[in-house]
Each structure stands twice: as C-alpha cells, then as structure tokens.
Amino acid sequence: MVEPTDRSSTAGQRLGAPESFGVSTLEPGLRPPTQPPGKLVSIRVQMLDDTQEVFQISQRSPGKVLFDLVCAHLNLTEGDYFGLEYQDQRKMTVWLDLLKPTLKQIRRPKNTILRFVVKFFPPDHTQLMEELTRYLFALQIKHDLACGRLICNDTSAALMVSHIIQSEIGDFDDTQSWQHLLHNKYLPDQDAIRDKITDCHRKHVGQTPAESDYQLLEIARRLEMYGIRLHPAKDREGIKLNLAVAHTGVLVFQGYTKINAFNWSKIRKLSFKRKRFLIKLRADPANSHHDTLEFAMASRDCCKIFWKICVEYHAFFRLFEEPKPKPKPILFTRGSSFRFSGRTQKQIIDYVKDSELKKVPFERLSSLLLGSSNNRNSDHCCTPKPLALHHWRSPSSGDSPLGSPHVVVNGNGPVNDQVMGSPSVLGPGQSPERQQLSPLTSPLLTEAGYVRNDDEDEARRKKFPTDKAYFIAKELLTTERTYLKDLQVITESFQSIVGKDEAFPDPVKNLISANYDPVYKFHQGFLKEVEQRLAQWEGRSNAHIKGDYQRIGDVLLKNIQGLRQLTIHLQKHSECLVELERACRTSRKVETLCREFEQQRVCYLPFNIFLLRPLHRLLHYKLILERLCKHYPPTHDDFRDCRAALADISEMVLQLQGTMMKMENFQKLLELKKDLTGIDGLVIPGREFIRLGCLSKLSGKGLQQRMFFLFSDSLIYTSRGMTPSNQFKVHGQLPLYGMTIRESEEEWGVPHSFTLFGQRQSVVVAASCAAEMERWVEDIRLAIDLAEQSSSPDTDLLSSSLSENSKSLSEDGGAEQEMEDELCSSRSSLERQGHRGNTTVHVCWHRNTSVSMVDFSVAVENQLSGNLLRKFKNSNGWQKLWVVFTNFSLFFYKSHQDDYPLASLPLLGYSVTVPSESENIHKDYVFKLHFKSHVYYFRSESEYTFERWMEVIRSATCSASRSLPSTRKDLY
C-alpha cells in the first residue's frame, strides 16, 4: 500500500465507484488488491514527473500487485500502456514481471528504485482516451528528449520543447521564457537552438496544457525513433546493428537509421539460442531474405530480454484478449514459460469506451523554478505537487456519447472516439477537445455554462402559440436556418478557397458559382420572410394586431413559385457534382484541395452531400406542406395556399426525382471510393450501391470481423486498414452472377450464418442477429437478380495489384498480412485520418451493423433542426443546445448561428425510447437515447416537436428490413 497521505479515501470511492475484488489496472480508485499474508516490504517507485513514492507490499506479492497499487495511486485507467523497469543484479534494465513474486525479481529492495514508464507506444496517440494518459506520455517524450534517446532534427526538437514549455509556464513572455530555458535542460544541445525554441513558443498563445500535450505527441509519433528502445546486435557478417520492436513488428537499425522492418504478419516465429536471436519468416517467393534471420547479441540474457519484449509487443497490439497460460507439463519443460500478462490494447479501448468512468481532472507538475503564467486558458492548476495525487469531482458525467460509440467532435473527422472514439489528426491550432472529445468534456458544452432555470423556461414556453400549425411552421424555420448554413459551405467557404487556387479549373469554379449563388441569395430572402412571419405569429411585433398572421401557406406559395424560376439551376447541380468529380479524377492537386476542405470544421459532412442539399430541400418542403394540409380543415384560411404550394412543389419534385435518385447513388459510390483501398473503377454507369455493413467471415482462423459492400453486380469484403486515412482494405470480391445463397446455421453451428456459393468460391458469413441476417439475405438475393439481368457477368472491381492475388486473398490466404485495426478504434474516433472518421462506414464497423441505400434515401427525407434540452444520465441540469439531425447523426451547436458543430453523435445502433418512472425524469416531452451503458435524455418544447424528433431518430436507429425496389433500372 502507498504510505499514508492526507487522502481519506480513494478517488474511485469519492466518485461513487462500485466495489470490486478484481485487480485490473483498468479499474482506478478501487481498494488495494488483496495481498498474501506476510511481512510488508517498502518499494520505491520513481514516477514520470521525477517524484518518488513508497509502496508497501507483502513479501510474497506478485509484480501485478505493486503495479496495480501504482496505477490506483495515479487514478490511471489506461495503465496497461505502462510498466515498471529496474536494473537487476547484472546491471541490465529489465521489466518487472507481473506474474512472478516481486521480491524474487528484486533481490535488494532497499537499494532498488523502480521506474514507472511507458512500455507500449501505440501508433497514434488519439487511441489514448484519457487526458491523464496523454500527459504521462508527454512526460515520457520529455524524458526521452532530455536523455538523447528521441533523436530528431533541430526543427522538430525545438517545436516539441516549445510545447513542453507552453504546458509548464503558459504563454510566451520574453524574460520569463528565456530564464526558464536557462534553468531547465530539455535537450542535450539545447543552447544551440534556444532562439528557435523561443520563436516556436511565441506561436502557442492561449494553448492549454492538454492541447500542448496533444501537439507534442502529434509531432513525436511521426519521428522514426518514437518509442524506440535499441538493443545492440550484429548480423551474420559481424556488422554492428541495433534491434528494436514496435507495434508493427521487429525493426533493424544501423546507428539511428532504420534499414529494415519485419511486420508481424511476415514473422512465423521468434526465438533465441544462447546469444543468437532468430527471426523465422513465412515463406514468400518474392522475399530476397533467408527463411531464418540470425542476429548475434552480447549474451543469452540480452537475447532473452529482447525476446520477452517482442512477445509482449506482439500480444499487446495483435491479440484481442490476454493469452491464457499454457498447461504445466507433467514430466519436463521445453522452452520458456513466459507469456504476456495484462490487457491487450483492444481490451483497453473497449473497456474505456463501454464503461461509465468519470473524467477526473488532475493537477500538473509545473516548473519548480518559475511560477505559472497568468495568461492561461486552462482549467488545470500548475503547482509543484506530486503528479495526479490531488483530484476533485468533475462537474459533468464521464459518459462517452458515442458508445463504442465514439462521439466525434467536428474538426478533422472520434469517433469517437471520444469516443467512436477514434480519432483524427489535428490541423494547426485545433484543440484536442474540438477534435475528439464528446459534448460531455468539450469546454464549450459543459453543464456549468448551460444549466437552465426550469421556471424561466416554462414561463417562456407558455407565451408561445399552442396550435400544431405553428410548430410545423417553426420546423420550416429551424430547418431553413440549417439549409442556408449548408448552402454557405458551398457559396462562401468552398468558393473562397478554390477561388484563390490556380490549380482549380475555372469552368468548374464558374459552374458551381453560377448555379449555387442564385439559390443561396433566394433562400436568404425566404428565410427572412419566414422569420418575420414567425415573429408575428408569436406576437413579438405589433403587426399581429393589424392582421391575421397565424399562417404560413401564403409565404410558402409565394416563394415556391419563385423557386420554380430557379429550376434550371437546380437541374445543373447534378452536373456540378459530376464535373467536380471529373476534376478531382484528372488532377491530384484538385483532389487534395477538396480533401483538405472536407477536413475543415465547417464541412461537417462529405462535401458532395452539400452539393445535393437543394434537391433534398425540395422533399422537405413537400413533407412540411403535406403535414399542414393534413392538419388544416378545408375551410381554414391557410388551407388553400398550402394546397396550391403543395401542388407546385410536388410537380418540381416529380420533375427532378430521376436526377435526384441517380445523383444519390453517384454520390454514395464517390463516398465509398474514398473509404476503400485496393479497388479500381468503382464508379461506373449501371452500378448501384445496395448495402454496407459488418458480417463475420468464417475461415480456418475462426470468425473474423469484415466489412461487406454489396453492389448490383458484386459483393466485396474488407477489413479496416492501417492507412493514414483509415480506409478499408479489400480482401476479396464475389461476383453475383450465378451466385446462390443458403442459410447454414445448422451446418456450421454458427448462429445467423449463411453460405454464398459463387462460380469460383464459396464463403460462409454470420450476421450479428437474426434481423441483420434477414436484411442481408434479402438484399443479396435482390442483387443476384439484378446481376442476372446484367450483360457483364465478369465485372472485376479489384485493382490490378490485388486481382493478381485475388484467389489467395479470397480464401483468406492473405489475412495474415493485415494489421488488425480493430485495435485502433478511434474515438473512432474521428479522428490519423485523411478524411472524416465518423462516416457511416466507420460507424457501422464499430457498431457491428449495416445500412442500405433505402436507409440513406429515407435519411435524406428525415432531417430536422431545433433547440433541445439535453441531460446526461448522472447529471441534474439541462443544457440548451441547437441540434441538427442528418446523415444518421445528431450534431450539437451552441446556437443556430454557429458555423460548425462542436460535437456529433452517430445514432446507428442506438435505441430511442421514453424514460421509465424509475428514472425520475419529471418533465414532459422527454425522449431517451441509449446504447450499451451510454444514456442521454433530450427534452423538446411541445408534443409535436417531441413526436417529430422521435420519428426522425427512429429512422436512423431502427433500420427496417427494407430492400431496393426491383423496378429500379440503371441510374446513369
């Protein structure tokens, strides 16, 4: 146990954590693990901030007891990334084995100091869910820089040190910053680049400690020596080399230059014999190396130390679960019994996402020489106290809105992660909170700033009209505000960027400008008229005294007749989409420009969706008018205008419907093209997208999660890859021509499984539930019928490089080559990503569900905007937010005037219900969103708006068993 401090209880107990008898490092704040009886021994541990703590353990306690005590002391959730290292009696640095008794490893505990350090370095720091974890990683980077272990050029070194200083003393001050650098050593040769460090520090004004940690890790992870611990060796010719291990596999360095890398998928076995370290590779005709690589190390002990860390790295990053212990042999043993102990990275990520941990702020260790800057945009104290010992209750719940679920805050794409998640790479000046944290932890959405007075709210509400027609008209107003903002993305944000770039072709630029600017200008005037009419209807002006303004049909009729004059522009919008795609296809610069624009916060959806918004808006006007006509009796004054407006808009929708369907399919194929790698010619005339989602594929290795994409001519299966853009890597293609399908649950003993029999191969897959299987079987049968009608039965989607090996890949012979990116979920997410990480494809991957083209078409019709009050499961106050529902997600804003959302919550997989009496939500018009342990309550202003939110959200959370109509023909 740690020596007594002034804390009367653990952080977990103060936060109301349930008692547990486990000793998991992922359960912070619990009571100390049970120790074997016996004398207590004091063990000193040096933390990453250079403070030392003394822990008392039983003489017979295994290493895990000590390690769990350290993690509990720090209130560290993601402890499995770390380890305890020390120098043994041979003066060699080794890791404390968690399964063996501590005192059998540390012979002289009084004279030994263990160091708590980072052991496993993930490829992307956005996989670290907790701010405390990222802070500890930042301290590790600081230490590696100071001791010369993290080798890099002067520019990178100066930039990293500047972020460290910003986190310690705050904003740049000429005298203070210079003095700080004089008294603190961050680099071995710091004096040579001191000016460069201060120049970088000047640019970080307003950056919080959390943001500084994030940016530091963002730079560090890109360095070749990030997380590398060199182990000296020689090759067969006696040339001096260094071996290292990373998340990808075993690396070979000459000096500090990486000269070779052996991916885990290429390695068949790692072993050592005396002082020879052996790497056995899988047979590969294209490989010029020997089947077995041999390296000589200084001693057998050196070999064994390196072998052990290789075993642990492989298990941590590649396995789904902690490996089980081998059965003890009866007569004799052969080889080492060593195995990895602890949770794998996937288990850590899943645990943090699915648990209900409270986010507990912590105090940071500032410079002991200089006080903190006054100009800090931070919630954290920077006083010289031991790391993370002083905690207090967070004002908001620690739920993660995304559920395995990543909430994705718009910036560069979470999940996330926090949630889903993942997570993405920040652009310059973007904060990690904006990038991946949930609305719960975003500084702009905390309860402190948004708790409403219920009495005031009820009084305000009673002043409003109660007629249903008023709320329908108000829906027109709120959705029109969102629509105008979406048009602004094209007419202002996008055009301001392409207008400055000479690489963007003028014809496309002029085409977009000529056909969207008039539409935007028209809707600016329309919105003003609707706002004025609603103000009169609510009695917020004196105009209602002079006339009857409690109607909306006349405004709609007048403007829809005006909108008819813009039909020629609406018809050109499909041409804009096609020409923009052609420009991206023929120019890498144009494609890069468009991709970079999609990473901007204002572009919260794939850009092509914005180009189709005017066509979608026509459908919304039609639905609003249908509701008004259904509500009004024929004798109502507003009925005649509404009916006339409905006739006009119905005619426009009918006129443009064919174009709309073609463009929706075209846009979906373009979006999938970005999500997939290893595929050629996805977007071709006649191909229809039908369904995408997760299925488990049965192979010799068992059931493996795969993402399937069903088109009208073929079915492809993929897994999520390790590319910077988190694309899905194609593993195989199943042509639908001549395919048959058979349910095969009894044959294989796998629930919800069915077999696809193709002309070249057969594949067994399993769905997550009976309903999912039914959807897939129905749509695949439809697709087979479409393929039979096609004149091209041998369509090949795979790229040339992949199709050469398509036979082996389709049989999962190449499955070993993939990096299982299930380990890299996210939050996830959203988040390393070349384009947005909260796309429907990524959400389906994390939620293990599927979506059809019909679902996408229904989603187009079911869009909604408006103010909602939101409450978390364990909080008291309600927050007023502007909420936009589109593309199966809720997007959260402070107000409708904001240019970009602060966070998003993908809803696929969630359920929407009303709270039960036991939940003590004593308010009207409240609905509840629920996924696993994640629960959110939303409160609307009227019965009508409550029913509308329930209706549209159900369209995203309850995927119906729908299929594409068989009457649909080739779209273009």
Query: Domain containing 685 — which CATH number?
Result: 2.30.29.30
Q: Is residue 35 part of a domain?
A: no
Specify whether 479 is located in the same domain as 595: yes
pLDDT of residue 373: 38
Q: Which residue has the higher pLDDT, 742 or 320?
A: 742
Q: Is the pLDDT of residue 422 over 50?
A: no
Specify whether 751 is located in the same domain as 662: no
Last residue of a domain, one of 184, 219, 254: 219
Q: Is residue 451 part of a domain?
A: no
Q: Which CATH number characterizes residue 476's domain?
A: 1.20.900.10
Specify whether 133 is located in the same domain as 259: no
Range of the domain at 261: 230-323+338-350
Q: What is the mean pLDDT of residues 271-299?
A: 81
Specify whether 487 is located in the same domain as 534: yes
Q: How far out from the chain centre does Cα 49 lie? A: 30
Residues 777-791 pLDDT 10s: 999 998 898 888 765
pLDDT tier at 11, thresholds 50, 70, 90: very low
pLDDT of residue 66: 94
Please return the burial class of 367, using the count of CB atoms within 10 Å of its CB with bins 0-12, 13-18 and 19+. Answer: middle
Closest CA to 162 of 110, 132, 197, 123: 197
Under DSSP, is residue 903 helix (H, G, I), strand (E, B) or coil?
Answer: strand
d(CA 382, CA 170): 9
Specify whether 611 is located in the same domain as 711: no
Lowest mean pLDDT among 509-523, 589-603, 792-806: 792-806
Q: Is residue 488 part of a domain?
A: yes
d(CA 902, CA 893): 6
Number of domains in the chain: 5
Q: Is residue 670 part of a domain?
A: yes
In sequence order, which residues have a C-beta less than 8 Å from that of residue 621 and are 6 or more positions away? Answer: 476, 556, 560, 645, 649
pLDDT of residue 922: 86
Contact indicator for 463, 440 with CB cutoff of 8 Å: no
Q: Is residue 374 part of a domain?
A: no
DSSP-derived letter for residue 805 is: T
**Strand-strand pairing, 82-87 and 113-118:** antiparallel
Specify whether 913 is located in the same domain as 896: yes
Specify whether 178 is located in the same domain as 249: no
Specify whether 116 is located in the same domain as 93: yes
pLDDT tier at 467, thresholds 50, 70, 90: confident
Contact indicator for 632, 468 with CB cutoff of 8 Å: no
Which residues are bridge partners to 231 per DSSP? 243
> Three-class SS string for 574-589?
HHHHHHHHHHHHHCHH
Q: Is the pLDDT of residue 820 over 60?
A: no
In single-letter form, the type of residue at position 34 comes to T
Q: Is the pLDDT of residue 678 over 90?
A: no
Cα distances from 905 to residues 15, 294, 377, 435, 756, in angstroms, run 26, 51, 27, 13, 35
Specify whether 701 is located in the same domain as 783: yes
pLDDT of residue 861: 87
Mean pLDDT (the chain) is 78
Last residue of a domain, one of 219, 252, 275: 219
Contact indicator for 475, 952 with CB cutoff of 8 Å: no
Under DSSP, is residue 302 helix (H, G, I), strand (E, B) or coil?
Answer: helix
Contact indicator for 692, 708 with CB cutoff of 8 Å: yes
pLDDT tier at 8, thresholds 50, 70, 90: very low
Q: Is residue 683 part of a domain?
A: yes
Q: Is residue 398 part of a domain?
A: no
Specify whether 876 is located in the same domain as 892: yes
Residues 168-222 pLDDT 10s: 999 998 888 888 998 899 999 898 999 999 999 999 988 899 899 999 999 999 9
Specify whether 185 is located in the same domain as 90: yes
pLDDT of residue 809: 35
Which residues are bridge partners to 258 per DSSP? 253
Q: What percent of the chain clears pLDDT 70, i.e. is strictly above it?
A: 75
Residues 50-97 pLDDT 10s: 899 999 999 889 999 999 999 988 989 899 999 999 998 888 899 999
Q: Is the pLDDT of residue 426 over 60?
A: no
pLDDT of residue 2: 45
Reported pTM: 0.57
Q: Is residue 481 part of a domain?
A: yes
d(CA 730, CA 660): 29
**What tokens appear for 690 in the block?**
């039908």
d(CA 717, CA 704): 11
Residue given tokens 């399919």 in the structure block: 665
Q: Where are the alpha helices (DSSP H) in 705-769?
A: 745-748
Last residue of a domain, one of 293, 315, 350: 350
Q: Is the pLDDT of residue 6 over 50?
A: no
pLDDT of residue 282: 80
pLDDT of residue 359: 59
Specify whether 198 is located in the same domain as 234: no
pLDDT of residue 327: 56
Sign of CA dihedral 709, 906, 861, 577: negative
Q: Which CATH number characterizes residue 86's domain?
A: 3.10.20.90
